Amino acid sequence: MKLHINLRNITDCLYDVIIGIKLPAITSEIARLNGFSKYFIITDSNVKRLYGNEFLKTLRTDKIEAHLLSVPAGEKSKTRKTKEQLEDKLLKLNADRSSIIIAFGGGVIGDLAGFVAATLLRGVPLIQIPTTLLSQVDSSIGGKVAVDHPLGKNLIGAFYHPKKVYIDVNVLKTLSEREFRSGMAEVIKYAAILDQNLFSFLLVNHANIIHLKQSTLIHIISRCCELKKMIVEKDERETGLRRVLNFGHTIGHAVESLSKYKLTHGEAISIGMAAEAKISTSLGILKRSDMERLTFLLELYKLPTLIPSRMNLKKIIESTIHDKKVQQGEVHYTLLEQIGKARVGVKLTADKVIKSFNK
């Protein structure tokens, strides 16, 4: 399946997302690209061990100079320091205009290698090969690249689109169950805000999905990419429509950071979606039965839906005020109207959120 992303009216940018292609086929497609003589694969220690060396070996030929640069796995590598180290290595290896950077890994690598590609020599071409469910349905599309800062996540970055995105669902077999379920939280989010058919599909096909049936995975990942494409094409810079994607993220981000990142992003977002659905119901925007359907689906995928008892609700709500989406003490929430339909920009004070929670 091939998706065509067209951002021509905003950034003169056009690229394909190819879903359901296997790694060896990806390698030969990349090797056949015209005009590139140096390939720099940026990956992390886990992906290198599992797939990186093989990938490098098949890409390297007489005509192609290929290098693999690896960083330690995990969010702690998404820093300016790691970016600088990668830049030093790339320049020492004589990266130039005929070079292409391949981001091969999860969202951390997509964001980090993408940002390296965005600024090296004022931008070198980039290919994304996302290897986690989260990065396949979310971070590899949309062009946001960044590193973290001690003051917050993703504070330094850019919009930079890849030339191509290749998605092989087979690599998900080596992903830990916890990482897979976390990715499912974002899949459920797409269904909840935009697509009630996908929502039903996730319910009915639960067994196939958790057993990683290839055709089922291709179906859900394609649908999520299609939905993200539709949003990004209409609103590349997150001025309006793109905010629907923030459903579950206002409270989710607060819970994630208060857990000191012991909860994965997906787990925190699952708690956030359940909480924000509850607020939607308290405010009379969402039917109780729809809120219950969402909670049921999250729990079916073994995702948490309750705010951890050690966390104080008031503290969570107060920390949402530091979120980027705040104007004059009122936090902008994305709430649900029904399964498959969201409402953006609902302004709520901390008091109102706490009241609606205790209702």
Q: Report the interface residues with ligand NAD, using CB under 6 A.
A: 44, 46-47, 50, 73-75, 78, 105-109, 111, 131-132, 134-135, 138-139, 142, 144, 153-154, 171, 174-175, 179, 265
In this structure, the strands spanning 330-338 and 326-327 are: antiparallel
User: What letter represents residue 328's amino acid?
Assistant: Q
Residue whose CB is less far from ligand NAD, 323 or 337: 323
Neighbours of 120 (CB within 10 A): 20
Provide, rounded to whole angstroms, the least separation between the CB of residue 328 and ligand NAD: 27
Provide, rounded to whole angstroms, the least separation between the CB of residue 43 and ligand NAD: 9
For 146, phi and psi rounded to 5 degrees?
Answer: -170, 165
Residue whose CB is less far from ligand NAD, 265 or 343: 265
- The residue number with the shortest CB distance to ligand NAD is 107
SS3 126: strand
Largest CA distance in the chain: 69
User: What letter represents residue 73's amino acid?
Assistant: A
Q: Which two tokens stand for residue 97?
A: 């205009």
Residue whose CB is less far from ligand NAD, 60 or 242: 242
Provide, rounded to whole angstroms, the least separation between the CB of residue 93 and ligand NAD: 23
Separation between Cα atoms, residue 297 and residue 315, nearest integer Å:
27
Would you name the residues annotated as active-site residues? 122, 144, 186, 228, 238, 242, 246, 249, 253, 265
Distances (CA, A) of 209 to 51, 194, 201, 241: 23, 20, 10, 29
Residue whose CB is less far from ligand NAD, 59 or 147: 147
Distances (CA, A) of 137 to 106, 241, 254, 294: 11, 18, 22, 19
